[in-house]
């Protein structure tokens, strides 16, 4: 258990890590199962797996970078508007802060006193927290950090089905990939639940459901392709 007894502080990095690892496991496993069932030769399977792993990792990195950058831009724009508002009409901003505290249950007179003290201490920080929900105005969104974490998590997760393919005997590639993938998903769900202080059962079932569904769909597609191809 964390020192402060709460797991919510882990939510951001845990979400990113779970997303990247789960995406890596499921997408790589689904890709390998589909092309294996379709009858692709071992050498081509390895090339497909490596291409999928590198493309997926860069795609995750780019997606996280773009999305977190957009979030960072919005936060910066809102903070700049708050800075201007505090400079142009500090009295209105003070009353607005006090009203927000009142809505959260603070008595009217006390709310004004608290708002004044918060404004004196750090006006922008107070408004960022109370109005915008930014609990760390100077470091909310870090695009490069998010991109790197997602790429690494994807590569580590996606490497497990690829490992299953490499150790498989001839003709049993898809079975080996499925077996390794199911173990990886169980471990991922359990680890995520453990780190987040949540029940393991539902977390494991969630990742297994979507993983099995994705592999089933690509398996059907691969099988249909093998029947249609001479």
Please determine, for residue 150, whether its predicted confidence score (pLDDT) is greater than 90: no
Nearest to 72 by CA among 143, 148, 136, 171: 143
Range of the domain at 35: 8-59+144-228
Q: What confidence score (pLDDT) does residue 145 get?
A: 81
166: in domain: yes
Residue-wise burial string across 144-174, b where 16 or more C-beta atoms lie within 10 A, e elsewhere: eebbebbbbbbbbbbbbbbebbbebeeeebb
Q: What is the pLDDT of residues 38-95, one digit of tens each?
A: 888 878 888 999 999 999 999 999 998 998 888 888 888 888 888 888 888 888 888 8
217: in domain: yes
- Residue 172 structure tokens: 């049993």
Please determine, for residue 9, whether its predicted confidence score (pLDDT) is greater than 70: no
The better pLDDT of the pair 116, 170 is held by 116
Q: What confidence score (pLDDT) does residue 1 get?
A: 45
223: in domain: yes
Q: What confidence score (pLDDT) does residue 212 get?
A: 95
Q: What confidence score (pLDDT) does residue 27 get?
A: 94
Q: Which long-range contacts (CB under 8 A, 24 or more apart) does 8-16 make?
A: 10/195, 10/196, 11/196, 13/149, 14/192, 14/195, 14/196, 16/64, 16/146, 16/149, 16/150, 16/153
Q: What confidence score (pLDDT) does residue 32 get?
A: 94
Residue percentage of the chain with pLDDT more than 70: 88
What's the CA gap between 81 and 94, in Å, rounded? 15
What's the CA gap between 210 and 60, in Å, rounded? 18
167: in domain: yes
What is the total count of domains within the chain? 1
Confidence of residue 192 (pLDDT cuts 50, 70, 90): confident
Nearest to 157 by CA among 34, 35, 65, 60: 60
188: in domain: yes
Residue percentage of the chain with pLDDT more than 90: 33
Q: What is the pLDDT of residues 26-41, one digit of tens each?
A: 999 999 999 999 888 8
What's the CA gap between 204 and 58, in Å, rounded? 27
Confidence of residue 8 (pLDDT cuts 50, 70, 90): very low
- Residue 189 structure tokens: 């769900």
Confidence of residue 158 (pLDDT cuts 50, 70, 90): very high
Q: What is the pLDDT of residues 194-228, one digit of tens each?
A: 877 788 899 899 999 999 999 999 999 998 988 88
């Amino acid at each position: 258990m964390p020192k402060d007894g709460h797991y919510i502080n882990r939510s951001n990095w845990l979400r990113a890590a779970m997303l990247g690892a789960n995406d890596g496991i499921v997408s790589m496993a689904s890709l390998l199962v589909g092309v294996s069932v379709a009858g692709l030769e071992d050498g081509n399977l390895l090339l497909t797996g490596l291409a999928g792993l590198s493309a997926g990792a860069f795609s995750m990195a780019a997606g996280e970078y773009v999305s977190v950058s957009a979030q960072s831009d919005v936060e910066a724009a809102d903070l700049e508007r708050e800075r201007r508002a505090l400079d142009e009409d500090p009295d209105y901003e003070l009353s607005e802060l006090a009203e927000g505290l009142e809505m959260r249950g603070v008595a009217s007179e006390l709310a004004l006193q608290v708002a004044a003290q918060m404004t004196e201490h750090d006006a922008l920080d107070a408004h960022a927290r109370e109005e915008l929900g930014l609990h760390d105005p100077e470091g909310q969104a870090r695009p490069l950090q998010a991109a790197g974490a997602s790429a690494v998590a994807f590569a580590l997760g996606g490497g497990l089905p690829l490992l299953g393919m490499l150790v498989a005997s001839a003709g049993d590639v898809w079975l080996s990939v499925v077996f390794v993938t199911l173990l990886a998903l169980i471990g991922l769900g359990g680890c995520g639940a453990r780190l987040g202080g949540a029940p393991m059962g539902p977390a494991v079932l969630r990742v297994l459901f979507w993983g099995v569904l994705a592999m089933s769909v690509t398996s059907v597609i691969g099988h249909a392709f093998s029947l249609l191809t001479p």
